[in-house]
Homo-oligomer: A and B are copies of this chain.
């Protein structure tokens, strides 16, 4: 896939022309999701070319047996895999007795895909010349309903162009699916029951080990020129995990035959009786009908866009990029269910497994806080609260901590660690910091303190205990140190005194202590309940504070920077600009040891600390550290460019900020890292949003007030975004000459723009 593959368009992702080489990449980019389920953009009909089949259901995972070369003590027994779910989209099609397959037919013309982000549907159209000489025109539209989130609908239209056609439709559902990344080629699904009638079918299966029960269903209707022809299947074939209906029909040249398939899942997470629920879901969908479902879909997406759209004028590619990011985030996570989280690939691929990384707290929460009701972010926090016991167990059983110290997993589905590389799993402990930071960030942004006495404080205490135990005293340095970690920059392993980790460790303890005091004075009953529950004494807090008050931070006085870790300056400090392009990406070109001893940084590390704790440092410090570290950063993590874009904007390096913005927003559309076929980088998409709102818009929350310092790349005419700040909706529009602010509703909102107080209300407030 090259950078011009996706056609520029303000509202749609468009592919034109059939390219077998790009099928897997397009399957990722055109993925659909509705928060409850999702699918890669696999073809409905047979495709014998290279394809990566994927359907996914939120919260349904499989604990695949861990695979390692050399077992190390403390490794978890399984790696939770994003589970390829039963396929309900499949429709095999025969045209005049030839199986339709774009890989084998004589010619494919006018192939076009469109993912209409404004309305939330995916359309594929093409003309095919079959080996038997029949020429057909096909149009397929598919969407996953946001309202009725257990169902999706496919309308598959076929128009024979040069002769009458006998068309056989074979819609099926198939639970005999496997994961491409299964460690041991095991089966993940156990078929339970197949039920079928003349128009609908149900396959119930459950996952091995986790015992999630899923009923996959379909309901089929055959139409001619849009009218239901009320035909019954001529055959119904079923095995223990698959049902296929056969419908035969004849359509005249120039007329259109269609099959409309409603399909989806009902799952035991939500229903006692998944079969009954599936029957009910079909009934509802059928009674609403295709057109109403589609109109509801358009309305639901309009509502989402109304709140979360970002417009960019004068730069279609930038506009398309940001909308693609916002669209995917909304497809992945709706925030309705605190059992769910934001998988790094969403519903677009299997890779990485698990659903929850520190990405959620470090990158995603700001987006959901500002574009959704605050309950959504609170649900994301609650997810971690609900898994606190397992984080304590993880620290105790796998890693030898005690006394309620909590280490949240690097990767998880249900709170249990499921990642297995010691240098990540056991050493990338900074993730604990982001989880505490998100609690702070949530309160800072929403002003909703209630979460802390209710739930957050227990999490903060478990995390503070972890850092207290994890730090150790160095007699040599006469300070506390944290040895043997991997920082956010995963191109270093097992290092000592990672600045970011040490800094956030200290911060976590300080913040926990402050919140204990605050809860003691403002919520004395919660304070009593929690301290008794976790058995925390004043003496223990004093011990924590010793560590926080005397934490060591590696520093270079000479360069005026913090050191990413002890010994960083011993490296051969050749800047990225002086590194031969042929050597990049280094993680594909170099052996791991070489990556590790190089000075090259995968993603913001010291700078991530500056991003989280901007107010703790001066602009000059930011400038020195940014200029030093950015010059060694290869941005081979999707999470890197956004932070750099924001900081470049702060430092008035607008060209750089713009370049980083483009890289983050079109990472998948332009396939910067040559890997989009594995799926899209969902969590980093929230970073794209931050690049605009926090980077160009300069939005910050300080002392319960919104601050802005708007800037605009020279490539743009203008841009706008909306944020939901404490139940008020503020729209910000920036051009080269002015910035305007407008509040929904009658209440004023006092904001700080470039350091000056401005009263925003439902009239436009203009700042020149």
A residues apposed to B, CB below 8 Å = 66-70, 72-74, 79, 398-400, 420-422, 426-427, 472-477, 481, 483-484, 493-497, 566-567, 569-573, 587-597
Contacts and interface: CB of A to CB of B under 8 A. Distances in A.
A566 B569 contact: no
B591 A73 contact: yes
A72 B69 CA distance: 12
Given A68-B68, A420-B69, A421-B70, A474 B569 contact: yes
A590 B474 CA distance: 21
Chain A residues touching B, majority SS: loop
Nearest to A67: B69
B570 A399 contact: no
A494 B473 CA distance: 22
A593 B70 contact: no
Contacts of A595: 73
Nearest to A473: B572
A74 B592 contact: yes
B400 A591 contact: yes
Contacts of A476: 569-570
B400 A570 contact: no
A31 B242 CA distance: 55
Given A484-B597, A494-B494, A73 B570 contact: no
B398 A596 contact: no
Contact of A570 (B67, B474, B596): B474
Nearest to A401: B594
Contacts of A593: 74, 399, 422, 426-427, 484, 494
Contacts of A475: 569, 573
Contacts of A589: 73
Contacts of A484: 593, 596-597
Contacts of A483: 567, 570-571, 597
Contacts of A566: 566-567, 570
Contacts of A494: 493-495, 593, 596
Contacts of A591: 72-74, 398-400, 422, 426
A278 B593 CA distance: 48
B592 A73 contact: yes
Nearest to A594: B400
Q: Which 6 A-B pairs have the closest CB atoms?
A: A74-B591, A484-B597, A426-B593, A476-B569, A474-B570, A483-B597
A594 B399 contact: yes
A290 B398 CA distance: 57
Contacts of A67: 67-69
Given A70-B421, A591-B400, A592-B74, A567 B567 contact: yes
A439 to B, nearest CB: 26
Given A484-B597, A593-B399, A596-B484, A69 B571 contact: no
A582 to B, nearest CB: 12
B472 A572 contact: yes
Residue from A70, A73, A476, A592 with most neighbouring chain B CB atoms (10 Å)? A592
14 contacts: A69-B69, A70-B421, A73-B588, A73-B590, A73-B591, A73-B595, A399-B593, A472-B597, A473-B572, A474-B570, A475-B569, A476-B569, A477-B570, A566-B570
A418 to B, nearest CB: 11
Given A400-B591, A475-B569, A483-B597, 6 more contacts: A69-B79, A70-B421, A74-B591, A74-B592, A476-B570, A566-B566
Nearest to A420: B69
A69 B593 CA distance: 17
A596 B68 CA distance: 19
A406 to B, nearest CB: 16
A472 B571 contact: yes
Contacts of A597: 472, 483-484
Contacts of A587: 73
Contact of A68 (B69, B398, B481, B567): B69
A497 B473 CA distance: 22
A636 to B, nearest CB: 12
Contacts of A567: 483, 496, 566-567
A400 B590 contact: yes
A559 to B, nearest CB: 10
A634 to B, nearest CB: 14
A398 B593 CA distance: 11
Contacts of A400: 590-591, 594
A196 to B, nearest CB: 39
A587 B474 CA distance: 24
A632 B600 CA distance: 34
Residue from A475, A596, A597 with most neighbouring chain B CB atoms (10 Å)? A597
Contacts of A594: 74, 399-400
A75 to B, nearest CB: 8
Contacts of A421: 69-70
B426 A592 contact: yes
